[in-house]
Structure 1
């Protein structure tokens, strides 16, 4: 398992008990300044929580963030949930600033220009943002 996934998981797992609760997930979104509602967080939890016990364990988190989250039909909701993590203002686009905020809150030290490069690598329509279709193509590749 990728050390990066473990590092991100531990940022969400605030109390260090090896699992992410709904409240920890809500707290992380709040930290990002996201306008994600409580119902959206619960829906996201339902998609990631494979065993249905109300918590996300590292393996479930890794599976969600792994390639299989983007593969095949029936995964659109999972991809949407991942997209929503970055779309802080819920305008349907991931901007350079949103990517920068989220990655830095996750402990990734990247500059605004690094984020501009990341966005430009995925931005097929050239508008300077990543829309859901562009994000979906990126996740599938």
Structure 2
């Protein structure tokens, strides 16, 4: 059951990064899944999105997002999830320093959601860089992605 809760927390965090007014654009779901290191087939994803977004509005709420994402998270256990997050972190920690700068994180977040303004980004960064070091280490990154 604990894994289920961790999954929900992680999904909510990911959702909130992209959500405006309680819904997200379905086109961003593939970006979110990619960010979480999930492998999926575009056709499968689209079919599941279509099932969820019956009106074709191009938007889903958090519950819809969870139902869509859970199709791809089924087999995931938290160890595999951690490996995938490590992998994602390594992509951005090109020098292998064990951390990324908040500037890099800001770029990642801005690229993930172009609706985030400077204040939104400042808020997210402040939440993640809890020690104010200007860098985000893997633990802080993990916490952001999983809520642990």
TM-score (norm 2): 0.45
- The structure, 1 or 2, with the larger RCO (C-alpha pairs under 8 Å, 6+ apart) is 2
Structure number with greater Rg is 2
Q: TM-score, normalised by structure 1?
A: 0.47
Select the structure that is richer in helix: 2
